[in-house]
Amino acid sequence: MPVNSSELTQMFEHVLQLSKVDETQTIAILKSHYSHPQTVQAAMDAACRLKAKVFILELPSFNHPKAMGNDMTAYCGDTALTGNLAAQRALESVDLVIDTMMLLHSPEQEQILKTGTRILLAVEPPEVLARILPTLEDKIRVQTAEKYLKKAQSMHVTSNAGTDFYAPLGQYPAVTEYGFADEPGRWDHWPSGFLFTWPNENMAEGTLVLDVGDILLPFKTYTREKITLEIEKGFITKIHGGFDAEYLREYMKYFNDPEVYGISHIGWGLQPRAQWTAMGLHDKNDGMCMDARAFNGNFLFSTGPNTEVGGSRKTPCHMDIPLRNCTIKLDSLTVVDNGIPVDLT
């Protein structure tokens, strides 16, 4: 159901308060022509209601010649901010950037965050923002799980579909997303509710099986048949299956870059208001489908770049693949049992 502008403004005010916005703060709303106008206006109105100093920075849209489709995650690296140093300096000068355009996986975003500026991404449709309005309870839930992920030395993922995947941990940090940016230099995404880390470089091994009904992003499709991925030394070496597997193979092959096959971040969803079924109710151009990334108990793994945590893989192809009905163990501790998160409190 559509969200009216007054409701959305109230929701933005709630999220900005969680992000510690007040009259001492300066806010930049980053937009392009494809930003949702209701989201931009609600962000502006909410910032004004909190008496923050606020301005809109609009950049022209950007399309890399190699990108396929309109999904904002289908090509990583270059953005409309690339090479625009004046605009970057403006964003570095504020306390919080509300990103309605998408800077994720860009070096410019990392440079902005290093100055202490916070970034809150908000690119989902207003109806999704409303349904998954972040709360302090979301932060507590995710940070409780983070305590265990930060000290784990390994992650082992299994499923009845055939997944048997092992990854040593510790080289890279744990990262949380709970829907608001409340600390200096923090990036977050409204909506969200999950956590992840990266395997130690070149050490992930095993088999990942996408069962019927699992999700391929940025394709925004549910798999209709099993896809089996063989993992050796941190990279996908073989992709087995029928048409879905062939499609995935050809898509990744298109980038002509061996680094697209690297296993990137791995983690699990902890957002009970996110729904596995939601993707089927939206057009493919509606946001980036955070429901799929955050729904409760998923195992989310990705492929491609890892530069945002200091890795060396800078590649434009980034797949996010949430699996259902997996069991996830950190060392000997089960944190997700057959798709159901374990209470860690």
CATH number, position 20 = 3.40.50.2300
Among 131, 156, 177, the domain-final residue is 131
Is 333 in the same domain as 227? yes
Q: What is the pLDDT of residue 73?
A: 80
Q: What is the pLDDT of residue 252?
A: 96
Q: How does DSSP classify residue 217?
A: B
Given a contact cutoff of 8 angstroms between Cβ atoms, the answer to whether 15 and 190 are in contact is: yes
pLDDT-based confidence at 76, cuts 50/70/90?
confident
Fill in the amino acid letter for 329: K
Task: Give me 176's structure tokens.
Answer: 């949380």
pLDDT-based confidence at 260, cuts 50/70/90?
very high
Is 272 in the same domain as 174? yes
- pLDDT tops 90 at residue 208: yes
Is 244 in the same domain as 335? yes
Is 15 in the same domain as 110? yes
Other beta carbons within 10 angstroms of residue 135's beta carbon come to 17
**Whole-Å CA distances, 72 to 121, 232, 252, 286, 296:** 12, 29, 17, 10, 23
Number of structural domains found in the chain: 2
Among 105, 131, 157, the domain-final residue is 131
- pLDDT tops 90 at residue 75: no
Q: Which of 4-8, 17-21, 260-264, 313-317 has the lowest mean pLDDT?
A: 313-317
Is 273 in the same domain as 203? yes
DSSP helix/strand/coil, 210: strand
Q: Is 35 exposed, middle or buried (0-12, 13-18, 19+ CB in 10 A)?
A: buried
Is 10 in the same domain as 99? yes
Given a contact cutoff of 8 angstroms between Cβ atoms, the answer to whether 105 and 72 are in contact is: no
User: Residues with Cβ < 8 Å from 287, sequence gap 6 or more?
Assistant: 123, 124, 125, 128
Q: Which domain holds residue 46?
A: 5-131
Average pLDDT over residues 159-168: 98
- pLDDT tops 80 at residue 40: yes
Q: Among candidates 106, 125, 23, 87, which has minimal Cα distance to 318?
A: 106
Is 140 in the same domain as 158? yes
- Where b means 16+ CB within 10 Å and e means fewer, 197-223 reads bbbbbeebbbbbbbbeebbbbbbbebb
Average pLDDT over residues 149-176: 98
Is 173 in the same domain as 304? yes
Q: What is the pLDDT of residue 74?
A: 75
Q: What is the pLDDT of residue 143?
A: 98
